[in-house]
Amino acid sequence: DPITDRSRPKNDGGQNLKGSSCKLCPKDWLLHGDKCYWFSTVFKTWEWSRDDCLMKRAQLLVIHDREEMVKNVLYSTAGCVWIGLNIASPGRTWTWQDGSPLNQTLLPISDPEKENNCGSVKKNKILSEICQTESKWICQKAAVLV
């Protein structure tokens, strides 16, 4: 039946994927390196921002080195931007959304305050903020190889 044949995707056994280095991101996401980034245009709390990224099958921005921070902040708008860094409960350490601890030697938090349990970035500095503050945010996820 020609209709069935047209509607069924052709399977070439993946032959066309060998050696491919083409990377794709969803619509309205920015490709940089091997990751896709999405930048909000509205202001929300840290938890709302985290949940929004999760609904996009992504996570709030995780920064593991200064180069990564600089490249991402260059694309962001002025002001504070939520990142995937927080203290789950008072007295605990700063932890990224991927479960890794913050390396404060490499990326120190500027002016940490006791009541501030959520991380943001502004002008290449990581800041501690009150989680109910409303800011823009950046989601990230791995690019898809095709």
Distance in angstroms (rounded) separating the CA atoms of residues 83 and 61: 5
- Over residues 29-40, mean pLDDT: 90
What are the chain's domains? 21-145 (3.10.100.10)
pLDDT tens, residue by residue, 123-132: 778 889 999 9
More confident residue, 8 or 40: 40
Task: Identify the burial level of 132 via C-beta atoms within 10 angstroms of its C-beta, where 0-12 means exposed, 13-18 middle and 19 or more buried.
Answer: exposed
Distance in angstroms (rounded) separating the CA atoms of residues 136 and 76: 9
Lowest mean pLDDT among 12-21, 66-75, 87-96: 12-21
| pLDDT tops 90 at residue 32 | no
Percent of the chain with pLDDT over 90: 40
Query: Residue 125 corresponds to which amino acid?
Result: K
Query: DSSP of 57-79, one letter per residue?
Result: T-EE----SHHHHHHHHHHSPSS
- Over residues 82-108, mean pLDDT: 84
> Binning pLDDT at 50, 70 and 90, where does residue 84 land?
very high
| C-alpha atoms less than 13 angstroms from C-alpha of 37 in its C-beta half-sphere | 21
Report the residue count for the chain.
Answer: 146
pLDDT tens, residue by residue, 2-31: 443 333 344 444 444 455 578 999 999 988
